[in-house]
Structure 1
Amino acid sequence: MSLQQALLLPVFLHMLMTMGLGVASALARRTALLTGRVRMKDIVLDSSTWPDDVRKLGNNYDNQFQLPMFWYAGVAFTLALGLVDGVAVAFAWAFFALRIAHSFIHVGRNILVRRFYVFVAGAVVLTLSWLWLAYKVFG
């Protein structure tokens, strides 16, 4: 596997994870509506009326469009500028692993302190990856 492939693989896997969360969220919403756990008129203007388990999935899906967007941009710049190296690959895999951990915590028991620490760790890894890219560009 080339360094470029090793850098892109966690991005592709994250995209699959995000799509899986989207499908799981849609199915959970459908089930909640069909089983009467929530009524259409209650959720039209207020998404907070979804049952907690459904909201957790939806919130986690939404989270995949926050920090990861900066990650995607950093990976794209790294590839476009031909600056892929082992450090960039390690940062990409570390960030992806932390996104998986964050998702499992979030849709699972959702222990806020644990989720916060994993989120912060991901933000630190992401920041370091951008600093590494800046160093490689501006040296």
Structure 2
Amino acid sequence: MIYPMFALVLLTFFVGIRLGATRFANARSGRVKGGYYRLMQGDTPPDGELKLARNFSNLFEGPVLFYAFGAIVIAKNLAAPLPLALAWGYVALRAVHTAIHLGRNHPIHRFLAFLVSSILLLAMWGWLALVL
């Protein structure tokens, strides 16, 4: 279970580092006033930065339930093929969601990736409820 959790951590850091680099570049080039980043007010960042910021925030919303699930599975020594497969599916769909969000950002495609990943997350918790 630790490997899918670690993969999602890597995705989160990847997006966070891209966001930081983008913000730095936008401030340095003057596209965004440097003071904007103190309170996130007084300017409007480019769409690319806004997409990165929103995606980064997304990676701290639903995934919190994923990390809690993984921690419980590890702590209770409940490793099994089904939850592991669901976990990898969840991580893969979060990566797909990120790729769509930061790419063409087609709302229906992004929503479908989000929806299916949420269903997998619910299935993980359902499995956990059954085995505990």
Flag whether TM exceeds 0.5 (same fold).
yes
Shift of 1:75: 0.8
Question: Is residue 19–residue 53 contact of structure 2 (8 Å, CA) maintained in 1?
Answer: yes
Aligned positions, number: 131
Moved segments of 4+, more than 6 Å:
none
Note the C-alpha offset of 1:48: 7.2
Q: TM-score, normalised by structure 1?
A: 0.89
Structure 1 position 113 matched with structure 2 position 108: yes
TM-score by length of 2: 0.93
What residue is the counterpart of 1:39 in the other structure?
33
* Match in the other structure for 2:46: 51
Name structure 1 gaps, 5 residues minimum.
1-6
Query: Is the partner of 2:30 in helix, strand or coil?
Result: coil
CA distance in 2, matches of 1:12, 1:24: 18
Q: Say whether the 8 Å CA contact 1:48–1:55 is kept in structure 2.
A: no
Q: Quick check: 13-22 or 120-129, which moved more?
A: 13-22
Q: Shift in Å at residue 89 of structure 1?
A: 0.4
**How many Å separate the matches in 2 of 1:121 and 1:100?**
12
Identity across matched positions, percent: 33
1:67 corresponds to which letter in structure 2?
G
| Cα drift, residue 84 of structure 1 | 1.1
Structure 2 residue aligned with 1:17, among 11, 19, 26?
11
